């Protein structure tokens, strides 16, 4: 089938096979029509509101070895920090005052933040009437349950790649099965569960990306966060090529076609690769932005990849300037919590109440 016809099919039925996804990923001439179709699906299912999530990067201490990440334990050139629960609470209060409805607490895998430390903090944040998203990596079922009971609503844990051999190559001492176990536990506990990948890791094929997209659909993700892999000079992958923004946008747009009603952020890595990257993402299927409200040195030291801090500060990262920028593309800041509304009935392949 002609690629444009495939895109049309996906826009209407939200179904594609692995080979069909591959054909779209390989075809350089279909990009504009793919992005436009994803933009229409975004508008139809999740509307013109752009939901904001205040991102707090509360610790850059990490015990993992992820080969691509600047927070990896072996990286001695980053200054480590850990906010106190009090500092986190202060930032959260600020976010609530500025009108945010969701805070995202993200961090390295820092053993200090046990359930005993986090549970009272989560309860206090919940009392501010905020939705809480956690992004703190792999934990036990018991921890996930304790966080949920204390008020966490959502959890972000990227699968990073669904190709087991690649996953295990880039994550020494970690197991793909445990990553899957975590995602299943989160879902079972009733979290709105977000996952996602890095696009353009060395040795990652388009075939592999096609399978990643089908995994998102099969898993029934509530949110997909993905971005280009950006080589970090302080990591073992420093000398590997940087992928194009287009490659990440294509994976994101296909994700929107197949999971029409989920939340998809325009990620900071897209902005780091190209200024206005997030703006492009919002017009190619994305409906969420996560402004970074981390302050001072911490913001600089949460150095996952180069260019991140500057990108976070670009106009779309600042709430005040967002309104105008969004209006120019017919969008507006969301007023509610912006959770996943299940408008698409996966089992029947049709749409509920639209
Ligand atoms: N410890 C948490 C948070 C990790 S940081 C967890 O495991 O979920 C959040 C995301 O940053 C990661 O999931 C990864 O996909 C992304 N990231 C890390 N290094 C990166 C790089 N060099 N380029 C682009 N994204 C990167």
Tens of pLDDT, residue by residue over 211-260, are: 999 999 999 999 999 999 999 999 999 999 999 999 999 999 999 999 99
CA of 142 to the centre of ligand 1 (A): 24
137 contact partners, CB below 8 Å, separation of at least 6: 64, 107, 108, 109, 157
In the chain, what are the domain boundaries? 8-333
Q: What is the pLDDT of residues 128-146, one digit of tens each?
A: 999 999 999 999 999 999 9
pLDDT tens-digit map of 33-42: 999 999 999 9
The residue contributing the CA closest to ligand 1 atom 8 is 137
Q: How far is the CA of 95 from the centre of ligand 1 (A)?
A: 23
Strand partners, 54: 103
According to CATH, what is the number of the domain 8-333? Answer: 3.20.20.70
Identify whether the C-beta of residue 156 lies closer than 8 Å to the C-beta of residue 192.
no
pLDDT at 319: 67
Of all protein residues, the one whose alpha carbon is nearest to atom 11 of ligand 1 is 304
Task: Give CB contacts under 8 A, 24+ apart, made by 35-40.
Answer: 35/249, 35/253, 35/283, 35/284, 35/285, 37/7, 37/8, 37/10, 37/11, 37/253, 37/257, 38/252, 38/253, 38/254, 38/256, 38/257, 38/284, 38/285, 39/283, 39/284, 39/285, 40/11
Mutate to test the pocket of ligand 1, among 143, 159, 305, 309 (most ligand atoms within 8 A of CB): 305
What gap in Å lies between CA 259 and CA 233, rounded to an integer?
35
* Average confidence (pLDDT) over 77-91: 97
Length of the chain: 354
Q: Point out the ligand 1 atom lying closest to the alpha carbon of residue 69.
A: 19
CB–CB of 237/198 below 8 Å? no
Taking the centre of ligand 1 as the mean of its atom positions, its distance from the CA of residue 262, in whole angstroms, is 21
Which atom of ligand 1 is least distant from the CA of 160? 15
Q: Which residues contact 166 (CB under 8 A, 6 or more apart)?
A: 201, 203, 204, 208
Closest CA to 284 of 322, 262, 257, 261: 257
Q: How much is the average pLDDT of 49-65?
A: 97
Q: Which residues line ligand 1 (CB under 6 A)?
A: 68-69, 106, 108-109, 135-137, 157-158, 160, 198, 227, 229-230, 232, 269, 304-305
Q: What are 228's strand-pairing partners?
A: 199
Residues 130, 153: Cα–Cα separation, whole Å: 10
Best residue among 158, 236, 307 to mutate for probing ligand 1, ranked by most atoms within 8 Å of CB: 158
> Pocket of ligand 1, candidates 182, 251, 304, 312: which has the most ligand atoms within 8 Å of its Cβ, to mutate?
304
pLDDT digit string, tens, across residues 301-323: 999 999 988 887 765 556 678 88
pLDDT at 353 over 60: no
Residue 351 forms beta bridges with which residues? 344
Rounded to the nearest whole angstrom, what is the distance from the C-alpha of residue 105 to the centroid of ligand 1?
14
Residues 6+ apart with CB under 8 A from 129: 96
Which residue among 59, 62, 66, 69 has the greatest number of ligand 1 atoms within 8 angstroms of its CB, and so is best to mutate?
A: 69
């Amino acid at each position: 089938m002609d690629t444009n016809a495939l895109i049309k099919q996906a826009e209407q039925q939200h179904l594609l096979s692995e080979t069909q996804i591959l054909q779209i990923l390989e075809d350089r001439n279909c990009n504009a029509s793919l992005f436009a179709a994803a933009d229409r699906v975004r508008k139809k299912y999740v509307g013109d509101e752009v939901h904001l999530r205040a991102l707090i990067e509360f610790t850059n201490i990490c015990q993992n070895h992820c080969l691509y990440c600047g927070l990896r334990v072996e990286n001695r050139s980053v200054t480590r920090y850990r906010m106190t629960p009090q500092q986190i609470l202060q930032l959260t209060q600020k976010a609530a005052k500025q009108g945010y409805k969701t805070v995202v607490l993200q961090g390295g895998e820092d053993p200090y933040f046990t359930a005993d430390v986090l549970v009272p903090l989560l309860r206090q944040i919940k009392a501010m009437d905020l939705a809480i998203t956690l992004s703190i990596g792999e934990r036990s079922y018991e921890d996930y349950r304790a966080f949920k009971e204390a008020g966490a609503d959502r959890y972000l844990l990227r699968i990073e790649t669904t190709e087991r051999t690649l996953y295990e190559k880039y994550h020494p001492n970690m197991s793909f099965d445990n990553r899957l176990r975590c995602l299943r536990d989160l879902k079972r506990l009733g979290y709105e569960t977000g996952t996602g990948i890095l696009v353009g890791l060395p040795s990652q094929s388009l075939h592999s990306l096609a399978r990643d997209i089908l995994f998102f659909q099969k898993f029934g993700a509530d949110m997909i966060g993905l971005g280009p892999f950006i080589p970090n000079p302080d990591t073992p992958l420093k000398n590997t090529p940087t992928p194009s923004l287009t490659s990440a946008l294509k994976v994101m747009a296909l994700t929107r076609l197949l999971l029409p009603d989920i939340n998809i952020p325009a990620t900071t890595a897209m902005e780091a690769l190209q200024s206005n990257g997030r703006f492009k993402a919002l017009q190619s299927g994305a409906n969420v932005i996560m402004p970074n409200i981390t302050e001072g040195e911490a913001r600089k030291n949460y150095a996952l990849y180069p260019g991140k801090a500057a990108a976070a500060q670009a106009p779309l990262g600042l709430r005040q300037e967002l309104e105008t920028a969004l209006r120019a593309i017919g969008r507006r800041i969301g007023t509610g919590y912006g959770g996943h509304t299940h408008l698409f009935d996966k089992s029947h392949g049709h749409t509920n109440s639209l």
